[in-house]
């Protein structure tokens, strides 16, 4: 509970900074939205209508007042309320990121563990190659490469346009995650369609996130395996599987979880590029579009949503820490 309270100043800070930063952006939204044919007078009218003629502090208090009522404002470019836009696009981004992350964990953690238990063998070298490749290849490049191979050359992947091919109907909105929604409906046809669309972008993102996780798993497993309590466990004859998982792996998990948290936030950032390449209707591409046209409300809404997401993420990671390591819960008391 204390941790939740600790995050309040962070959110307040984010509100202030995102407000100031968007105001500091070059470009005048009034000019943009008044249209190409507008003269000075109609630009001024637009400005008044948007509330941009008022002093900055007043604008800020209006914004905060609206925010407290749960109103994120109207997006000028899409014409809908920002909250509505975010509610539609955030699940798309989360679905992509989480799938990518799960994929990355599923590959990176076993790879790291294997590399650590057999240092100097081919698994270790493979791990090193994958890590180097993952770090050095930019996501937009791997994205385009994957599209080229799987869509253009092999033709096994669907066209990289959005979350679902037009022949399918969107599943009913429950969570906003198409895979979960389709499964809830029992509509496996749509599920397969969504999974196919998701596969390439998720792989792209997974390649990027996999590298730090694999490296950290390997390093922390090596540390754990060389520690004294592993020697104790071996000296009393415990089987190597028990030693590896119950003793070494759980101790190695802590830094891995830390890295996962960091990787998750990188992935949200890297999303923007992947979403652009795959025409994924997520919030990354939404924010970029809004930024280009100085759509203040949309940008602020995006930054706020991200901040809340990070706060929630850190909370989850803290909770995971205490679940893994009894020492941490003890010291915070």
The Cα-based distances of 219 to 109, 215, 216, 248 in angstroms read 11, 6, 5, 12
Query: Judged by CB under 8 A, which of 25, 234, 269, 292 binds another protein?
Result: 234
Check binding of 251 to another protein (CB under 8 A): yes
Check binding of 41 to another protein (CB under 8 A): no
Check binding of 241 to another protein (CB under 8 A): no
Query: 174 and 181 in contact (C-beta within 8 Å)?
Result: yes
Q: Rule CB under 8 A: which of 102-131 touch another protein?
A: 119
Distinct helix (H) and strand (E) counts, the chain:
16, 0
Q: How far is the CB of 120 from another protein (least distance, A)?
A: 9
Check binding of 330 to another protein (CB under 8 A): yes
Q: How many CB atoms lie within 10 A of CB 110?
A: 13
Stretch near another protein under the rule CB under 8 A, chosen from 28-36, 151-159, 224-232, 302-310: 224-232
Check binding of 324 to another protein (CB under 8 A): yes
Stretch near another protein under the rule CB under 8 A, chosen from 145-153, 154-162, 227-235, 308-316: 227-235
Q: How far is the CB of 231 from another protein (least distance, A)?
A: 6
C-alpha–C-alpha distance, residues 23 and 40, integer Å:
21
SS3 28: coil
Query: Judged by CB under 8 A, which of 59, 223, 227, 314 binds another protein?
Result: 227
Token pair listed for 316? 């989850």
C-alpha–C-alpha distance, residues 281 and 163, integer Å:
7
Check binding of 42 to another protein (CB under 8 A): no
Q: Which residues contact 129 (CB under 8 A, 6 or more apart)?
A: none
Check binding of 319 to another protein (CB under 8 A): no
Query: Judged by CB under 8 A, which of 180, 238, 313, 317 binds another protein?
Result: 238
């Amino acid at each position: 509970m204390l941790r939740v309270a600790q995050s309040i100043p962070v959110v307040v800070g984010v509100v202030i900074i995102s407000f100031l930063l968007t105001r500091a952006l070059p470009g005048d939204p009034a000019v943009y939205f008044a249209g190409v044919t507008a003269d000075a007078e109609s630009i001024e009218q637009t400005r008044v209508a948007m509330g941009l003629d008022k002093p900055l502090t007043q604008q800020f208090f209006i914004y905060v007042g609206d925010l407290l009522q749960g109103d994120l404002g109207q997006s000028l470019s899409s014409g809908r309320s920002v909250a509505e836009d975010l509610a539609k696009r955030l699940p798309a981004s989360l679905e992509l990121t989480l799938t990518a992350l799960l994929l990355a964990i599923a590959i990176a953690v076993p790879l790291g563990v294997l590399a650590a238990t057999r240092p100097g063998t081919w698994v270790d070298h493979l791990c090193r190659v994958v890590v180097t490749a993952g770090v050095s290849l930019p996501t937009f490049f791997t994205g385009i490469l994957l599209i080229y191979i799987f869509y253009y050359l092999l033709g096994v992947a669907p066209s990289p346009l959005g979350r679902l091919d037009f022949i399918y109907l969107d599943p009913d909105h429950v969570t906003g995650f198409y895979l979960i929604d389709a499964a809830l409906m029992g509509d496996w046809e749509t599920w397969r369609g969504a999974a196919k669309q998701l596969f390439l972008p998720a792989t792209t993102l997974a390649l990027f996130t996999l590298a730090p996780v694999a490296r950290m798993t390997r390093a922390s497993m090596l540390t754990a395996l060389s520690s004294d309590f592993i020697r104790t466990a071996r000296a009393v004859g415990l089987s190597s599987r028990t030693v590896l998982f119950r003793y070494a792996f759980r101790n190695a998990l802590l830094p891995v979880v830390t890295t996962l948290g960091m990787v998750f936030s990188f992935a949200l950032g890297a999303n923007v590029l992947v979403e652009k390449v795959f025409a994924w209707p997520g919030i990354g591409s939404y924010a970029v579009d809004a930024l280009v046209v100085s759509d203040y409300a949309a940008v602020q809404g995006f930054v706020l949503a991200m901040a809340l997401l990070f706060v929630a993420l850190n909370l989850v990671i803290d909770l995971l820490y205490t679940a893994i390591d009894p020492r941490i819960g003890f010291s915070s008391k």
